[in-house]
Structure formats: structure tokens, C-alpha cells
């Protein structure tokens, strides 16, 4: 076992760090205040090859290993988690995985190159008003009509819904006996009947777009069914396994940014005649923050490495993906809260970015499977 990154991984890490320092961090506050979608940054991420990270080279992606891509996401999230989620919900973790994992070669050749070439956005349209943690409660239907499926239903909390041109949609095909078969479809640009609803106003990740999506008699050719009818639940679960290390990596980036701000402040803030970092109370907080971030980092990097073992050798990593997600997001919440505490009144104002880090950290414990669901997943693996 060795813990050194290879030279390519170090280069990606460095490149993403420099990109975040120059192109993201200086704009993070303004994007958050204005709840402004980060189009310009997204275009630059695409231009330098740091978007759609999961896609192999032969389909137009960068074709990098999963650990490199977590390293990149971590650094970008050090700049702004909202920007990172906007990019990663596309082809780094969520929206393209059903196609990558369950699509035919023909479908991958048809959909991926135009998406990657032009940096098009794709939604992962799974969640519904009555189907959040309980994926099996999805009510959206796909009725067969000759060579088409007609999709009807409503989705909520969909990342990039207002800007995406493609949609990876989960819907139930109802067979003749009335049985529901959860399935996945790719909806292409310009398909009539796709309606964007209310845009959410959120606590954190305020530059990322989250909105409702409605599908009204949307005709989808049968060639756009990803995998088999009835394969939707397993494709959703596998996709979420792939996504959870990325949530861990974003959480790491947020925690690291908050930690760095707290260290810096503690060295310059003078009270009772000396910098506050001279106080053991502050030192113990910083020591705990650093220890927790490092432990989270090891879990995230391990899960990212295992992701490639799953992709290329079929080795299961559901439990380790959940370990990474649950621990890193809990650490991000704890570390950002402690960073606000160390910065005191200043940390509570919008003069510093640490209050934003704390707001951004909260969703990491909620989306892509709440941390309670992660514990159910882990316990299930322990007890089975």
C-alpha cells in the first residue's frame, strides 16, 4: 500500500487548485449573493477539460481515473461548492452515469460526444414530491405508444433544471398486468412537453440552479430507453454509489477552505495581547478539524479508488461509497461550524466566506441520499 499520488494526479490537483484560486474564489461571494448561475465559470471549466470528468476519452470526455476526478472536485469545491455541484451533477457524478453504466455502445456514441463537445447540461431527474429517499415511490409514468414512450409526471429539486437541454428521467413503464417497471430514459434537446417549474431559493449552493421539472405527454423514441425496462431502480442505486464519493470530495473542499480560513484568522486576530491561536482552546479545535478532514480525505480517496475497481472489475463498493459520503459531509458540517466559531462575530457576517461554507455544507448531509439513508445502506451491508 502506498499513499502517494502519481505525477498525473498531482498535476490535476494542482491545475484544479490554481483554477479555483483564480477563476472561482474571487467570484464566490458575488455569485452567492446574486444567486447567479455560474455560466462563465462553467464554460471555462469545460474549456480547460475539467467538466464531464467521468466520461471516457472515446466519447469526448477527459478519460481520467476516479481518484483524479475526486482530487479535481475537491479543489474546485475549495473555491465554491455551488459551482462544483453545477458541474458535477452533469457528467462528474450524477446525470450521465445511468447512460455510462446501462447504455448501449450506440447510445453512448449518439449522446455523449455532443454533450461533451459543447458542454451541454443534463439533469438527473429522479426525485419527486413523494419520492425522495424512497425511490420506489416514483409516480412518473412512461406509457408505450408504438415506437415511443409517452412520459408524464413531475420532478422536484432537480439540479440544473432551468439550463439543461438533456434529461435523464426515471419513469415507470406500466405493463399489461398493471405492474410498474422503473426505467430510465434520455430526453433530447427540444423535445416538446418538458416544462421548467419553480426555481428554489436555497440556504446554500445559491449559485447552483435547483428547480421543478414537469413532463407533459413527452414522446421519447424507444431507442432512448437506457438499459432494459425495469432496470431503473438498480441503475439509480449504482449511479448513487458512483456519486457519493464525489459528494465526499465536495465536502472535503468546503471543509478545507473553512479550515484554512480559521487557521489564518487565528494567527492574525489578537486578543488579550496575543494571537488567539496561542490559546489551547483554539489549538484543540484546529487539531480536531485537521484530524477529521484527514480521516475524511482517506475515506473519500479510498472510495474513489474503489470506484475504478467497480467500473473495471465489478468489485462492489456501495458500503465504502456511503462511508465516504456520510463521514466527509458530517465533517464538513462540523468543521465549517467550528470555523465560524473561531472567526466569531466576523465569521457570522458576510464579510468572510466561512458563513457561506457552513450554509453550503448542510446540503452535503442531505442530497444524494440523506446521511440517515447512508447509515441504512452501511448497516444493511454489515448485517447481510
- Least Cα distance to 245 among 161, 79, 369 occurs for 369
Cβ atoms of residues 166 and 189 within 8 Å: yes
Position 226 contacts ligand CAA (CB under 6 A): no
* Segment contacting ligand CAA by CB under 6 A, of 60-68, 146-154, 296-304, 372-380: 372-380
Nearer to ligand CAA, 243 or 339 (CB): 243
**Member of 71, 77, 121, 135 binding ligand CAA (CB under 6 A):** 135
What mask of x and - would describe binding to ligand CAA in positions 349 to 368, judged by CB under 6 A? Answer: ------------------xx
The residues in 44-73 that bind ligand CAA, with binding defined as CB under 6 A, are none
Annotated catalytic, 368?
A: yes
* Segment contacting ligand CAA by CB under 6 A, of 55-63, 106-114, 172-180, 229-237: 229-237
Nearer to ligand CAA, 89 or 226 (CB): 89
Taking CB atoms, the residue at the shortest distance from ligand CAA is 369
Q: Helix (H, G, I), strand (E, B), or coil: what is residue 48?
A: coil
Q: Pull the grid cell for residue 156.
A: 422536484
* CB-based contacts of 95, cutoff 8 Å, min separation 6: 89, 122, 123, 124, 160, 164, 166, 168
CA distance 159 to 64: 24
Shortest separation between residue 249's beta carbon and ligand CAA, angstroms? 14
Report H helices in the chain.
Answer: 7-19, 25-34, 39-47, 66-79, 81-87, 97-102, 105-118, 232-268, 280-313, 318-348, 354-364, 371-383
CA distance 219 to 349: 49
**Member of 157, 215, 327, 357 binding ligand CAA (CB under 6 A):** 157
What is the Cβ-side half-sphere exposure of residue 98, based on CA atoms within 13 angstroms?
31
Shortest separation between residue 150's beta carbon and ligand CAA, angstroms? 24
Q: Which residue in 23, 74, 128, 368 is the catalytic one?
A: 368
Nearer to ligand CAA, 120 or 202 (CB): 202
90-112 as b/e: b if 16+ CB within 10 A? bbbbbbbbbbbbbbeeebbebbb
Nearer to ligand CAA, 77 or 343 (CB): 77
Cβ atoms of residues 329 and 371 within 8 Å: yes
CA distance 75 to 19: 9
Cβ atoms of residues 154 and 129 within 8 Å: yes
Nearer to ligand CAA, 17 or 307 (CB): 307
Residue with cell 432494459: 228
**Member of 163, 233, 305, 346 binding ligand CAA (CB under 6 A):** 233
What mask of x and - would describe binding to ligand CAA in positions 88 to 127, judged by CB under 6 A? Answer: -x----x-----------------------------x-xx
**Member of 238, 297, 325, 356 binding ligand CAA (CB under 6 A):** 238
- Least Cα distance to 168 among 67, 73, 242 occurs for 242
Nearer to ligand CAA, 208 or 292 (CB): 208
Which residues are the active-site residues?
368
Q: Which residues bind ligand CAA (CB under 6 A)?
A: 89, 94, 124, 126-127, 133, 135-136, 157, 159, 233-234, 237-238, 240-241, 318, 367-369, 373, 376-377
Amino acid at each position: 500500500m502506498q499513499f502517494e499520488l502519481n505525477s498525473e494526479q498531482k498535476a490535476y490537483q494542482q491545475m484544479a487548485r490554481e483554477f479555483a484560486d483564480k477563476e472561482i474564489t474571487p467570484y464566490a461571494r458575488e455569485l452567492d449573493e446574486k444567486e447567479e448561475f455560474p455560466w462563465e465559470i462553467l464554460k471555462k471549466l469545460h474549456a480547460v477539460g475539467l467538466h464531464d470528468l467521468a466520461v471516457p476519452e472515446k466519447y469526448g470526455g477527459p478519460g481520467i481515473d476516479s481518484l483524479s476526478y475526486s482530487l479535481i472536485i475537491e479543489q474546485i469545491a475549495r473555491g465554491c461548492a455551488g459551482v462544483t455541484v453545477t458541474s458535477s451533477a452533469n457528467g462528474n457524478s450524477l446525470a450521465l452515469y445511468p447512460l455510462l453504466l446501462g447504455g448501449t455502445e450506440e447510445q453512448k456514441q449518439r449522446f455523449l460526444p455532443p454533450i461533451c463537445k459543447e458542454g451541454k447540461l443534463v439533469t438527473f431527474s429522479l426525485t419527486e414530491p413523494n419520492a425522495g429517499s424512497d425511490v420506489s415511490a416514483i409516480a412518473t409514468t412512461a406509457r408505450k405508444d408504438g415506437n415511443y414512450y409517452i412520459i408524464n409526471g413531475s420532478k422536484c429539486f432537480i439540479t440544473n433544471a432551468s439550463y439543461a437541454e438533456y434529461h435523464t428521467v426515471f419513469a415507470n413503464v406500466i405493463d399489461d398486468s398493471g405492474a410498474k417497471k422503473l426505467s430510465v430514459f434520455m430526453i433530447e434537446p427540444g423535445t416538446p412537453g418538458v416544462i421548467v417549474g419553480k426555481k428554489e431559493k436555497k440556504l446554500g449552493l445559491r449559485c447552483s440552479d435547483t428547480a421543478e421539472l414537469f413532463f407533459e405527454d413527452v414522446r421519447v423514441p424507444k431507442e432512448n430507453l437506457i438499459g432494459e425496462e425495469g432496470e431503473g431502480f438498480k441503475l439509480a442505486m449504482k449511479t448513487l454509489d458512483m456519486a457519493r464519493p464525489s459528494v465526499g470530495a465536495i465536502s472535503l473542499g468546503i471543509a478545507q477552505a473553512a479550515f484554512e480560513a480559521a487557521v489564518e484568522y487565528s494567527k492574525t486576530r489578537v486578543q488579550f495581547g496575543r494571537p488567539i491561536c496561542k490559546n489551547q482552546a483554539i489549538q484543540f479545535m484546529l487539531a480536531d478539524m485537521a484530524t477529521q478532514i484527514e480521516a475524511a480525505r482517506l475515506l473519500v480517496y479510498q472510495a474513489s479508488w474503489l470506484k475504478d475497481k467497480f467500473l473495471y472489475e465489478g468489485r462492489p463498493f456501495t458500503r465504502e461509497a456511503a462511508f465516504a459520503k456520510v463521514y466527509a459531509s458530517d465533517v464538513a458540517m462540523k468543521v465549517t461550524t467550528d470555523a465560524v466559531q473561531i472567526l466569531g462575530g466576523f465569521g457570522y457576517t458576510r464579510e468572510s466566506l466561512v458563513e457561506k461554507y457552513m450554509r453550503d455544507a448542510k446540503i452535503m448531509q442531505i442530497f444524494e441520499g440523506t446521511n440517515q439513508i447512508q447509515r441504512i445502506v452501511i448497516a444493511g451491508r454489515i448485517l447481510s
